Every structure is written in structure tokens, then in C-alpha cells.
Structure 1
């Protein structure tokens, strides 16, 4: 079952990446991992924002909103991974960045910019 979940996740992450590209985002990383966790997509917007993107898919609302699935624990993991990414790639924390969520519910895509604040 886990293998199928990974395939489904990868499929919808690709849809989210294609959507973001169509909106002017340059995708820098896919499934960026370090010892703290993973960020689905990392991109740069046309106006210079570095974005850390969590992608969530739901086939229907019965399982709840895909956006609600990015809970406090997940936000903390993404924040920690982002710090390490900034240290390793920019050698600075002084970079305009934000945390976005792309929710896919059936065939609807919802991009929430600045979906949550940095967590410690």
C-alpha cells in the first residue's frame, strides 16, 4: 500500500509543480530531503520569493480538506527543513521566503500563498 501512496503522491506533486510553473514559478527542488524531513517542492516566484511548498491531495472532501492536513507538526518539520536548506544553499537566513500549500481536491487546485508562518 505504501508504494501506491508514494506513486499517487508523486503524481499529484507533478500536477502541482506544473500548475506553479504555469503561474510563473521556477521549480528549484522536488522532494527535497534532509535528516529532518522533506519538502515537496521548492520554487522561486517571478517576483523573487523563495517558496517552500507542501502538496496535499484528497479525492473528495470526505477525508477533510487537503489544506487542513498541513497541521502544526507538519509545519514544524517543513520549517526546520527550510532552515537547513537556506543554510546550505544561501548561507544566509536573510532571504525573502514563505510557506505555501497547494491543495488538490479531485480536479480542483488551490494555491494558498503564505499558508503558515515559520515555526520553532
Structure 2
């Protein structure tokens, strides 16, 4: 049973990640990759904003009672994203590239994009 719940959460998450990706494209970003996985975790979206690599965490909430989606990216999650981003830059030979960490919150049909949401 737990496996089905996890599968459903991933399916739902994928829909909102696609919406966030579309939002980024509409705002001039180049999408590089969805769901980059490494041993330390996962990055929902990797994109480029000009010469800057943007590592995005997408958070969805169905309503206000579930809390603000941006608050869900706690310090532990930030560290995991940072470690994945570091691994990605080394793996792709772009260690010296400019990078930033954004959070995209999806609440119903509203998208909130926080640039430089945290520092690695």
C-alpha cells in the first residue's frame, strides 16, 4: 500500500514540476533536466537563466491549511539540494559556473517563484 501512495505522490509531483518548468520556459529560462538524482537526493528542475545554472525545488500545497509550500524547504532539504547541485556541477565539469537555488511554490493555480531562496 505504501508503494502506491508514494507512486501517486510522484505522479502528482510530476504534474506540478511540469507546470513549474513551463512557467520557467515562459520566463526565458532554458530547461536542462527534470528530477536529477544522485546519491544525496534529487533536484526537481535544473535550468539556465542566461549563464547561471538554476537548481529549483518545486513545492505544492493543495490549500492554505497544508502550509506555505515555500516553508517546506527546510535547512535539511536545502543541504540535500546543495550537495546534489555540487555533485551535478562536478559531474558536468561546470564547477566554476554561476549557480543559484530557487524555490517554486505551486498553490492551486498560483505559482510563486523565489529566486536565490537560499545559499548553499
Q: TM-score range by the shorter chain?
A: over 0.9
Q: 1:20 to 1:32 in 2, by over 3 A?
A: same
Q: Which runs of 5+ in 2 are unaligned?
A: none
- Normalising by structure 2, we get a TM-score of 0.94
- Does 2:55 correspond to 1:52? yes
Any runs of at least 4 consecutive aligned residues in structure 1 with deviations exceeding 3 A, and if so which?
A: none
Partner of 1:11: 15
- Please give the secondary structure, in 1, of the residue aligned with 2:28: coil
- Does 2:93 correspond to 1:100? no
1:1-50 deviations in Å (ceiling 9; x for gaps): 111111100000000000000000111010000111100000001x3211
Partner of 1:42: 46
Q: Which runs of 5+ in 1 are unaligned?
A: none
- Normalising by structure 1, we get a TM-score of 0.94
Deviation at 1:90, TM superposition (A): 2.2
Output the aligned Cα RMSD: 0.8
- Does 2:60 correspond to 1:88? no
